[in-house]
Amino acid sequence: MSAAEGMRRCIEDLRAALGDQNVLASGEDLARYQTAARYEDGKAAFVALPTTTAHVSAVVAICRRHAVTLVPQGANTGLVGAGVPDSSGEQGVLSLDRLNGPVAIDLENRSVRVAGGVRLSALNEELARFGLTFPIDLGADPSIGGMVATNTGGARFIRYGDVRRSVLGLEVVVADETGTILDLGSGLRKNNVGLDLKQLFIGTGGAFGVITRVDLEVQPLQRQSATALLAPRDRSTVMAVLLAAEAAFGSDLSSFEGMSGEALSCVFRHIPDTRNPFAPEPLPEYSVLVELSRSTAEPEAGERLKAGLHRFLEAQFEAGMIVNAVVDHPEALWKIRHSISDALREEGKVIGLDVSARRGDLEHFRADARVLVRREFPWLRVCDFGHCGDGGDHFNLVWPRLDAPPYDAATARLARTRLYELLVAKYDGSFSAEHGTGPSNGEYRSAFLGADRLDLEKRIGEALTHGRLLGRALG
């Protein structure tokens, strides 16, 4: 049987199982599922849109029977190319767009059960009615299943951690011959009956199975906050300010986000209704967005937060740790922070690096990396920003549209490789802090992770799935 005939039969079987309306196979219908948020677009043979877990199981089993590779896709907001098919036209997309049933909130357990395709915004809209939130703060609006599969971090990691910390249970369709459905946990915070199997599916990008349902611990909605954008004296004082903030505010510290002056200048050039909050002073080389928050409804608590933040800033001025600060205007300040990615795309071609190091090493890496870029790729602009409170940085490079050589993918890859080599060899850091690996970083797994670890991952995957069906999460 030819490959084309095999694909035709696979699509026929999918339509019989899901209904014609839930299987797309024409060019126009496929377009949005083939477009990557970053990197090159792909080409899908079909898109399956299951509406139930049983449908997901059927899709997996049918594709396994026809030897067709599936690419699981949530809201398609990922940044490493793992959520779209390759360019061969021989892979199918399993989209969770329509797996978005009702949100079941357990107020006594302070938890929620939610389908894998539900968007973060929809979940938080429902939770807000009960004074609750799922406090992972992102610039995108991903699906909950996708967030679990990639173990998303975000701008409030310093207080709430990554998604893994909030997952109480999962329902997963394993990528085996029958599409086995596993129920891994039921909302319990304590459960030591054996291996915590749900961890095999958190942060592995869907390589071992498709997350169809999630039980999450949720948090009280933060009702009072105080926000400041401050300019450290120089990079050597960033960690001192962070440690002082943690000592002063404890768990009230909910964000400590760093932004380079180059990144902010792109925002003010390209994003309407944003401006330099330090004006008439020039932009500092680096600034930090600090947020304090509490869940209490008492307005007095908010005033105490603001007063405490003012006292902290005054003490940091007197100690010579910071040289400028803008207090309040939280919506405007957070708009600046969340607009950086869009602004960089307007500036030129973005070479996105999602890295992490120990907190005390991060500023040293940033300094060394800038020297490397100036020496070897002087036309590239370093426009980094990120979560310096937890050791993460989006060390993004911009290849400008003007006053630079024509964009060259091989040179961009070399720049990425040189920076990863510096990060891993000198600082024992991670070349994928929170975005996953996928095709964009797949080669670096082989280069940096070691044969023993990769062999163990392979054996675990084979034990779960009896061979690989789902791609392209691990490159």
User: 430 to each of 64, 104, 394, 425, how far by Cα in Å?
Assistant: 33, 36, 12, 10
Least confident stretch, 257-266, 392-401, 423-432, 436-445: 436-445
441 pLDDT higher than 90: no
Q: What is the mean pLDDT of residues 277-300?
A: 92
The tokens for 286 are 């680096």
- Whole-number pLDDT of residue 296: 87
Q: What is the mean pLDDT of residues 203-207?
A: 84
Could you tell me the CATH number of the domain that includes residue 160? 3.30.465.10
Q: What is the mean pLDDT of residues 115-140?
A: 93
What distance in Å separates the CA atoms of residue 48 and residue 149, rounded to the nearest whole number? 19
Q: Does residue 188 lie in a domain region?
A: yes
Could you tell me the CATH number of the domain that includes residue 81? 3.30.43.10
472 pLDDT higher than 60: no
Question: Mapping DSSP to helix (H, G, I), strand (E, B) and coil, where does residue 470 land?
Answer: strand
What distance in Å separates the CA atoms of residue 408 and residue 341, rounded to the nearest whole number? 21
What distance in Å separates the CA atoms of residue 352 and residue 349, rounded to the nearest whole number? 9
Could you tell me the CATH number of the domain that includes residue 379? 3.30.70.2740
Query: 177 and 122 share a domain?
Result: yes
Query: 198 and 236 share a domain?
Result: no
Q: What is the mean pLDDT of residues 411-430?
A: 96
Q: What is the mean pLDDT of residues 45-65?
A: 95
The tokens for 156 are 């409030």
Query: 262 and 310 share a domain?
Result: yes
What distance in Å separates the CA atoms of residue 244 and residue 95, rounded to the nearest whole number? 45
Query: 215 and 111 share a domain?
Result: yes
- Whole-number pLDDT of residue 77: 67
User: 179 to each of 61, 209, 210, how far by Cα in Å?
Assistant: 5, 9, 10
- Whole-number pLDDT of residue 473: 57
- Whole-number pLDDT of residue 141: 87
What distance in Å separates the CA atoms of residue 29 and residue 35, rounded to the nearest whole number? 12
Q: What percent of the chain has pLDDT over 90?
A: 68
Q: Does residue 457 lie in a domain region?
A: no
- Whole-number pLDDT of residue 40: 66
Question: Of 157, 186, 220, which residue is a domain's last?
Answer: 220
Backbone angles phi, psi at 153, to 5 degrees: -105, -95
- Whole-number pLDDT of residue 391: 94
321 pLDDT higher than 70: yes
Question: Of 282, 316, 338, which residue is a domain's last?
Answer: 338
Query: 108 and 216 share a domain?
Result: yes
Query: 158 and 140 share a domain?
Result: yes
Domain span at residue 174 reads: 104-220
Query: 234 and 153 share a domain?
Result: no
Q: Does residue 347 lie in a domain region?
A: yes
Q: Does residue 455 lie in a domain region?
A: no
Query: 160 and 196 share a domain?
Result: yes
What distance in Å separates the CA atoms of residue 149 and residue 358, rounded to the nearest whole number? 24
Taken in order 437, 442, 443, 448, the sign of the CA dihedral is positive
73 pLDDT higher than 90: no
The tokens for 269 are 């050039």
Query: 177 and 260 share a domain?
Result: no
Query: 49 and 140 share a domain?
Result: no
Tell me the pLDDT band of 418, cut-offs 50, 70 and 90: very high
Query: 134 and 43 share a domain?
Result: no
How far from chain centre, in Å, is Cα 251? 23
Q: What is the mean pLDDT of residues 140-146?
A: 90
pLDDT tens sequence across 359-410: 999 999 999 999 999 999 999 999 999 899 999 999 999 999 888 999 999 9
- Whole-number pLDDT of residue 272: 94
Query: 206 and 247 share a domain?
Result: no
Residue 104 · residue 122 · CB < 8 Å = no
Those residues with Cβ within 8 angstroms of residue 308's Cβ, 6 or more apart along the chain or in another chain: 226, 248, 249, 292
Tell me the pLDDT band of 439, cut-offs 50, 70 and 90: low
Q: Which helix (H) or strand (E) holds 11?
A: helix 3-18
Q: DSSP of 244-289, one letter per residue?
A: HHHHHHGGGEEEEEEEEHHHHHHHHHHSTT---TTTTSPPPSEEEE
Q: Does residue 449 lie in a domain region?
A: no
Q: What is the mean pLDDT of residues 215-226?
A: 95
The 10 Å Cβ neighbour count of residue 238 is 23
Q: What is the mean pLDDT of residues 291-313?
A: 92
Report the number of distinct structural domains present in the chain. 4
Tell me which amino acid residue 191 is.
N
Q: Does residue 278 lie in a domain region?
A: yes
Tell me the pLDDT band of 247, cut-offs 50, 70 and 90: very high
- Whole-number pLDDT of residue 207: 82
Q: Does residue 454 lie in a domain region?
A: no
- Whole-number pLDDT of residue 16: 96
Mean pLDDT, rounded, of the chain: 90
Tell me the pLDDT band of 455, cut-offs 50, 70 and 90: confident
Residue 113 · residue 90 · CB < 8 Å = no
Q: Does residue 50 lie in a domain region?
A: yes
Question: Of 338, 370, 389, which residue is a domain's last?
Answer: 338
- Whole-number pLDDT of residue 208: 87
